[in-house]
Structure 1
Amino acid sequence: MSGLLALLDDVAAIAKVAAASVDDIAGAAAKAGAKAAGVVIDDAAVTPKYVHGFEADRELPIIWRIARGSLKNKLVILLPVALLLANFAPWAVTPLLMIGGAYLCFEGAEKLYHALVPAKDHAVEADFDTKDPAHLEEEKVAGAIKTDFILSAEIMTIALAAIPDSNFWTEAITLAIVGTVITVGVYGAVALIVKMDDLGLHMAATGRTGAGRAFGRGLVKAMPGFMSVLSTIGTAAMLWVGGNIITHGLDVLGWPWIYDSIHHLAEVAAHATPVLPGVLAWAVTATFDGAFGVILGLLLIPVATRVIGPAIAAVTGKKKAAH
């Protein structure tokens, strides 16, 4: 009897440890996912353009193919690389994170620049006029998965940096959860967004009541504005997250002036009012991080367009010529 009681006591102790581990993983996954919010919002805002112009019955299959590619990016390629970095080259995580943050600043600033100085893009229209739809779909899916790889790398690096010090398996499971949940959430939302206008058209045409048909028409009319708002939020989130990554990285590497100054201003603002001081502190921090992201991104635009872009084009051109 005593042996049975001892066994039950051991089982209970193991269950408590397992429960604590699950709780730790869930907490780390939630924290890491929140840190990656800016990239996630931009991912959701960017992806719908890849199904623009295709027949309605091809939209969901295209999104499903991109989602599968995204999961492969995160779980098969990036997760092992992230774990290797964390366990064998942790010193490289902050610089890599800052490179990703600089890319976010560049992308956000470039979108802001094009919004202020719009230019009509004829390339997409030309594609649909001159290429076979099946071939064009393959190109669009491949391009989307490549873009997702960059965003996924940033998500996984942010998630890795947000996980508290823990063992190998906790980090692996946490990254797998974050990657899977974010992918399902992003591409589920994208699928809902791209089919929303179809739902509105269906309701407008077949609704049993006048209110239902009016709601359908309103849904169709609202979608362009909603997409514009989503794109704006995504751009702002990129600049905020990118700026925050860079300022925090500079602090970690021994240049704390910008990070400390923003933190000090946020504390002053929080102490200035008793009403929602935490929210005000976050708003001040996000505003200054975003402003820093805009400035850095604008400075990076000529570097990317006049130096990096031509260099990549030269290398890829040589490879094509060799083939």
Structure 2
Amino acid sequence: MAGGLVALFDDVALLARAAAASIDDVGAAAGRASVKAAGVVVDDTAVTPQYVRGLSADREIPIIRKIALGSLRNKLLIILPAILLLSEFLPWLLTPILMVGGAYLCYEGAEKVWHRLRGGHDEHASPEEAVPDEKTIVTGAVRTDFILSAEIMVISLNEVASEGFWARAAILAIVGVLITVLVYGVVGLIVKMDDAGLKLSRSSRKGVAGFGRGLVKGMPRLLTALTVVGTAAMLWVGGHILLVGTDELGFHALYGALHHVEEAVHEATGALGGVLAWVVDTLASALVGLVVGALVVLVVSLTLHRRKGSGAESTAAH
């Protein structure tokens, strides 16, 4: 009897170690997948604070909480089941879908660059249009988040495609929750930074007051920096997805040429070879992203212009 109990305890310990190892593997895979999606995460973090501009301070966090819950529903209830089914039954579709998402990232990044160069602003917006109601804000933010969340989850899935079905499900669920908490936690801190700074600036201690004023002044610069980093990350990630995707689909010339350049840089620069090779890959990916994005922006602009022209002619005819 005692021997049987000892054997049972040994089996339980073995299962526990196996389970712990599996959890470690899932956690490590979730970490790798999250890092790969970092470019989209940065953009998501940069975009979201714009939605609460103009709202009263006491409504900022509740609105962000609603957007975060909507984002979590997007990831776990819609996107996760859909991409798991695709990975199980139509895995060959994942690369084209990932490339479509990559092209969208390139479009978003190039559009922001174009908007910045053009210096366009909506000067004719009325005060009522400038700050829509909370329901409209949340709906619009969750709709935009759906696209970014889908890209994050597909990028993450591509990193763990070799895992079993349930392992993929667990990893992607962890990635979805972690990234949502990270993005909207950081967003919450960003939007309350100026409030905290304003409160500190009223302190009787000069050092604390100066720090508070610095926070208030630094808020616009931080948002601008996030936007720049987010745009660069979108072009880099989107371009890299397209380069790798074309290679996986059998068009090896472009990615192969870049790979040869990376190897040459790595061999020619000694200790700094790895870093400089990464820089070459990043710049090349961003350039591809900018070119592809600019082409998509051009096509979309011409299409919308043509539609607007047709609509105007139709209205004039009536």
Which TM bucket (shorter chain)?
over 0.9
Measured against aligned partners, the alpha-carbon deviations of 1:74-108 in whole angstroms (never above 9, x if no partner) come to 00100100110110110110000000000000000
- The equivalent of 1:204 in structure 2 is 201
Counterpart amino acid of residue 199 in structure 1: A
TM-score by length of 2: 0.92
1:53 is displaced (CA, Å) by 0.8
Unpaired segments ≥5 residues, structure 2: 311-318
Distance 2:195 2:38 in 1: 28
Tell me the SS of whatever aligns to 2:270.
Answer: coil
1:166 aligned to which of 160, 163, 167? 163
Confirm whether residue 288 of structure 1 aligns to residue 289 of structure 2.
no
The answer to whether residue 151 in structure 2 is matched with residue 150 in structure 1 is: no
**Structure-to-structure mapping, 1:44-59, within 5 angstroms:** 44-59=45-60
Q: Partner letter of residue 286 of structure 1?
A: T
1:21 aligns with 2:18: no
Residues 152-199 of structure 1, C-alpha deviation per residue, up to 9 Å, x if partnerless? 000010010011512111111100000000000000000100110111
Distance 1:225 1:14 in 2: 52
Aligned identity (percent) is 51
Q: Using the TM superposition, name which of 76-85 and 220-229 deviates more.
A: 220-229
Contact 2:87 2:161 in 1 (8 A): no
How far residue 230 of structure 1 moved from its aligned partner, in angstroms, is 0.8
- Among 263, 266, 273, the residue aligned to 1:270: 266
Equivalent in the alignment of 2:74: 73
User: Which 10-residue stretch deviates more, 208-217 or 42-51?
Assistant: 208-217
Q: Distance in 1 between matches of 2:307 and 2:48?
A: 27
1:11: Cα distance to partner? 1.2
Question: Is there any run of 5+ residues in structure 1 with no aligned partner, and where?
Answer: 315-323
Residue 319 of structure 1 aligns with which residue? none
Partner residue of 2:187 out of 183, 186, 190: 190
Is the 8 Å Cα contact of residues 270 and 281 (structure 1) preserved in structure 2?
yes
Offset, 1:15: 1.5
Task: Identify which range, 275-284 or 148-157, moves more after superposition.
Answer: 275-284
Shift of 1:310: 7.2
Aligned residues: 308
Aligned equivalent of 1:256: 252
TM (norm. structure 1) is 0.91
User: In the TM superposition, what whole-angstrom CA distance separates every residue of 1:108-146 from its partner, at most 9, and x where no partner exists?
Assistant: 0000111111112236x52x4369x7x611111100000
- Report the CA distance between 1:41 and its aligned residue: 0.2
The list of structure 1 runs, each at least 4 consecutive aligned residues, that deviate by more than 4 angstroms after superposition, is: 308-312
Is 1:175 aligned with 2:172? yes
The residue that corresponds to 2:236 in the other structure is: 240
Pick closer, same or farther for the CA change 1:309–1:136 going to 2, 3 Å: farther
Cα distance, 1:263 vs structure 2: 1.6
Q: Give the letter aligned to residue 192 of structure 1.
A: L
Structure 2 letter corresponding to 1:203: L
- Tell me: CA distance 1:226–1:300, structure 2 relative to 1, closer, same or farther (3 Å): same
Distance 2:285 2:169 in 1: 30
Counterparts of 1:138 and 1:299, CA distance in 2: 34
Root-mean-square deviation (CA, aligned residues, Å) is 1.8
Cα 1:208–1:277 change in 2 (3 A) is: farther
Counterpart in the other structure of 1:225: 221
User: Cα offset for 1:261?
Assistant: 1.4
1:284 CA displacement = 1.1
Q: Measure, in 1, the Cα distance between the counterparts of 2:306 and 2:12.
A: 63
Q: Tell whether the 8 Å contact from 1:28 to 1:164 is kept in structure 2 after alignment.
A: no
| DSSP-derived class of the 2:162 partner | coil
Which amino acid in the other structure matches residue 229 of structure 2?
I
Q: Show the counterpart of 1:321.
A: none
1:45 Cα deviation from its structure 2 partner: 0.4
Amino acid at match of 1:13: L
SS state at 2:74 partner: helix
Task: Quote the residue 1:101 is aligned against.
Answer: 102
Q: Deviations over 1:217-236 (max 9, x none)?
A: 11111111111111000000
Is this contact kept in 2: 1:29–1:175, CA < 8 A? yes
Structure 2 letter corresponding to 1:64: R
2:186 partner amino acid: A
